[in-house]
Amino acid sequence: MNENPVPYRAPGHAPIAFGPTPLHEAERLSEALGVRVLVKRDDQTGLALGGNKARKLALLVEDAIRRGCDTLVAAGGAQSNFARMTAAAAAVAGLHCELVLGGNEPSRWSGNLLLDRLLGARVHFAGSENWLDILRRTNDVAADLGSRAYAMPIGGSTPVGALAYLHAAGELLEQMSGPPDWIVVADGTGGTHAGLLAGLPAGVRVLGVDVSRPPLPLVQTIAALAAETAALGGRPAPGGEVLVVDHCGPHYGSITGEAREAVRLAARTEGLILDPVYTGKAMAGLVAAAREGRVRGTVVFWHTGGAPGLFADEYADF
């Protein structure tokens, strides 16, 4: 298995993911938190304003084309970053895209939703915010398309998708003189976390910040997916504890006071733009862990993107 594969290219088109992404020292943020913080900039993966899903989609699209599919089917919340980037990846590769999103169609499309439409996706609304209802509707859409459909779970969290973060772990280690003590990352469905565990040496601890409360406990999901991903990448299954803290708030997509503070802190110390649903809550998790002394040494904050969500109507009072 190639440790650092060239990003997938559809014939005559740009790559789906650009890399390696920058890693930079966040000096003023480090001073504010009392720990050394580096930021891994996967908000700069290049696809439709960037984000961690570009790495996953580079491999998922390749798999879809290999299987003879011509339509990507993805699901998520109304402001799903994965949905937005799936639509973009489909456009790059010359595929069709069907998106199934939670809730009902809004009177005004904003944020990621606006980009979904701009990128040419066909959008279906599940009429419910419940994950199981969204997945049922997604299965119906895929069934109607038959063998043409390449249906992906929410977040693209399959072993193929997570394999991208096994590779990304190697990329990070090549950028550093020694491995970090901690990595902090947002956990929606856990695929990024699982891939990192599969690719990192045993001494590096990954703290996932749960922003979505999926139906199955993330600790179980991440452990199983990390083992499958490691096997796919020709690595031994990772050992050790899967570390996850909850910072969802009342419900998925709700903005918490701690996340507001964290988004402002990152912006006003580093000019770093986070989003209210994923990276803002991950930064809130880092802030709490640093202030309580639970993370020490060198900490990499893995910026998974999501800034278009800031421009959604529901966050207009931010």
As beta bridge partners, residue 9 has 15
Both tokens of 255, joined, read 């903005």
- Over 70: is that where the pLDDT of 173 sits? yes
Mean pLDDT of 40-45: 97
| Residue 9, pLDDT score | 55
| Residue 248, pLDDT score | 87
Of 109, 121, 48, nearest to 314 (Cα)? 109
| Residue 287, pLDDT score | 98
- Over 60: is that where the pLDDT of 1 sits? no
CA atoms within 13 A on the CB side of 108: 6
| Residue 4, pLDDT score | 45
23-52+157-315 and 53-156 agree in CATH topology: yes
Backbone angles phi, psi at 187, to 5 degrees: -115, 110
How far apart CA 48 and CA 50 sit, in angstroms, is 6
Q: Pick the catalytic residue from 80, 110, 157, 212.
A: 80
| Residue 317, pLDDT score | 76
pLDDT, averaged across the chain: 92
pLDDT tens digits, 89-144 = 999 999 999 999 999 999 999 999 999 999 999 999 999 988 889 999 999 999 99
Mean pLDDT of 179-199: 97
53-156 domain in CATH 3.40.50.1100?
Answer: yes
Q: Tell me the three state secondary structure of residue 128.
A: coil
pLDDT tens digits, 265-316 = 999 999 999 999 999 999 999 999 999 999 999 999 999 999 999 899 888 7
| Domain ranges across the chain | 23-52+157-315, 53-156
> For 23-52+157-315, CATH number?
3.40.50.1100
- Over 60: is that where the pLDDT of 10 sits? no
pLDDT tens digits, 151-167 = 998 899 999 999 999 99
* Residue 13 CB contacts under 8 Å (≥ 6 apart), including other chains: 92, 93, 94
* Active-site residue, 80 included: yes
Both tokens of 206, joined, read 């990954």
